[in-house]
A and B are shown apart, each in its own frame.
Chain A
Amino acid sequence: MIIEARGLTRLYRVGVETIHALRGVDLDLEANEMVAVMGSSGSGKSTLMNILGCLDRPTAGTYRLDGRLVSAMGATELANVRNERIGFVFQSFELLPRLSALANVELPLIYARGGGWWGTRRRKARRVLERVGLADRMHHRPNQLSGGQKQRVAIARALLSNPAILMADEPTGNLDSTTTNEIMSLFAELHAEGQTIVIVTHENDVAACCRRVLRLRDGQVESDLPIAEDPASPQYWSQRTGQAIASGGGVSAEGPSA
């Protein structure tokens, strides 16, 4: 079990008000799963993502990552866990503008315990950049790269330390549909190679590439289903559409907003 979360609760105090961002979420994630976390804004999906990514700690509940109880760790320990076990991919890429693609990818190794000297780090960074198909763009700066290329660099950076989980927060939010497909097929390849992936998204197309869909609503798990049974899935809709056509009705009333 990679992720074992029990009763994750997260409260924010804004002035005198208390906001319940998460109200007791349970989640188990096996190695090599590919999960989409969906939900409308305010549903708590970002909060869940931050906690699972060790950027934040739950107010209550326990979270074990790879068997380690990270919900009780301090800031420094969490930083080390992020460094060694988690790879992040963000919507806006978050590449450092003055560094080349290669240097951006190397960044986590600066903070690693035993990151190795230049040669080692360069070699690791080259390998992951080649893996994401950017062998010919290693020395380009972010402003010389297209959106899709930037996100590939970010994915390479996330893959650098062989993370237990790849966390992607709206990874295609800033990309057009063609590029979105490229990035999603890259995720699919990585998944096929055994990578555990969690993608936070509100796009059904993106969720459709995953194997499992976790839907949140008001800080609670609304549904946690294999893709075939989730409304994000084309099979689901073809089934429903088939039934609807058979019954002579329309689908628009329940149709996905995307």
Chain B
Amino acid sequence: MTLLSPIFWVQAVALAISQIWANKVRSMLTALGIIVGVASVTAVIAALSGLKSRVLTEFESFGANRLLIFPDRPDNAPRNLYPWEEVRLKERELVELSQSCPSLRTLTPITSVGASVQYADTLLDGSTITGIWPAWHEAENRAVIAGRPFNGIDERERRQVCLINEEAAGELKLPRDPVGEHILLGGRRFLVIGVVETVQQAMFGMNTSSAEIFVPFSVAAAMQDRTFFFRIVAMVKSPDVAEEAKSEVRFVLRRMRGLRGSDPDTFAVAAIDQFIEQFKALAAGITAVAGGIVGVSLLVGGIGIMNIMLVAVSERTREIGLRKAVGATPLAILSQFLLEAVTLCLLGGIVGLLCGQFLAFVISSIPNAGLEEASIPGWAVAMAFGFSGGVGVLFGMFPAIKASRLDPIEALRHE
């Protein structure tokens, strides 16, 4: 096979573009199928990407990237087979989890102690005091609005310090600025070091806003039995690695508990990732349907391309004859017509992408639709080009072969 020179290719591209330009209207109409196909699929993908980023953001704020780890007996297992001492989370497990799970950003234990709370003459019986690590602020996304958050020293030194929320401050009738006051928790004096926001947790219709008092986890542990209960809230680095994080936690805990092979877990790791999975499946479904639509559209467009290329071959039969007479090989003629079809399709793809980009812009500016982040991802751009080029090759092949097989003598005699 004779190799075609680079000159030939440059010339062939120039020729293809000049042919398309010479038949502007015809080329436009021909490429319409490709344009519509590419524009619609990129717009759908853009809308989906907008929807996805919105849904993921929402999940994130609801805690999609949070894992909950708590002791749990296997289903239907007799209690005596799994004594509490074996099932409960232990502090060394907590430490190990915080150190050997690379997909976790941070974690905090949470334990609750019932105790009386008193400030001056105000006594609240049966209040719940929550023991936490400093990481809780991040894990629960709750900052302090006055004073300071917990730090590592509070935890290590088991300082008698506490955080309260505004609700608790109100119920205890603390001064307007409660930081620096002392309150009694279970009869011991604690220094109020900060106030945390009260979060209106309207999640799933429940309003859980109420008085809250927090102490360092080590302090709360010391206030309870040795076999006290706590759970762990962990933050995953990103929702995408939720599964990995779960596996890492399971691996660490099973190893530490000496569980083997078919032994069931004696703990549970839960996340809201089921919703994410469902949503991703839905998005994939919509993408597949859109892909099907665009497939049909590209097929129609491709048939248009084939038709117009057949017309071009027949219109330019004499030209083909002449080119052959001056030494164009069949391969050169084939390449030239194929290149013309591909160029036409790629131009259609570019116009389609521009239209799709415009549609994406329109979608992203629909008020209250929550699709502000609708944009065409890079892979969709690459795919649009790949497909339109592919259509050009596929449907341009037959006319190109036809042109390459023309007999030069008959072609030159063609009227």
Contacts and interface: CB of A to CB of B under 8 A. Distances in A.
Interface string A80-94: 101110001010001
A116 B11 CA distance: 13
A79 interface: yes
A73 B177 CA distance: 102
* A53, A79, A96 interface centre (most CB from chain B within 10 Å): A79
Contact of A111 (B18, B22, B328): B328
Interface in B200-232: none
Contacts of A79: 324, 327-330, 332
Interface in A34-93: 50, 53, 55-56, 75-76, 79-80, 82-84, 88, 90
Given A80-B329, A88-B326, A98-B22, A111 B1 contact: no
Interface of B is mostly: helix
A94 B412 contact: yes
A111 B409 contact: no
A113 B7 CA distance: 10
Interface in B310-352: 318-319, 321-332
Contact of B409 (A56, A76, A98): A56
A80 B2 contact: yes
B330 A84 contact: no
Contacts of B8: 110-111
A202 interface: no
Interface in B1-45: 1-3, 5, 7-8, 11, 18, 22
A82 B322 CA distance: 11
Given A50-B409, A96-B319, A115-B7, A76 B329 contact: yes
B50 interface: no
A147 interface: no
B329 A111 contact: yes
A98 to B, nearest CB: 7
A112 interface: yes
A134 to B, nearest CB: 18
B327 A111 contact: yes
Contacts of A116: 7
Q: How large is the interface on A (under 10, 10 to 19, 20 to 34, 35 or more residues)?
A: 20 to 34
Given A55-B408, A111-B332, A76 B1 contact: yes
A76 B330 contact: yes
A107 interface: yes
Interface in B129-166: none
Contact of A82 (B319, B326, B412): B326
B18 A98 contact: yes
Contacts of B332: 79, 111
Contact of A75 (B3, B319, B325, B330): B330
A82 B325 contact: yes
Nearest to B3: A113
Given A94-B318, A94-B322, A112 B330 contact: no
Contacts of B324: 55, 79, 82
Given A55-B408, A55-B409, A114 B5 contact: yes
Interface in B385-415: 408-409, 412
A84 B329 CA distance: 12
B157 to A, nearest CB: 81
A160 B5 CA distance: 18
A108 interface: yes
Nearest to B413: A46
A110 B7 contact: yes
B326 A108 contact: yes
A152 interface: no
Interface of B: 1-3, 5, 7-8, 11, 18, 22, 318-319, 321-332, 408-409, 412
Interface pairs A-B: 3 shortest CB-CB: A83-B327, A108-B326, A79-B329
Interface of A: 50, 53, 55-56, 75-76, 79-80, 82-84, 88, 90, 94, 96, 98, 107-117, 121, 157
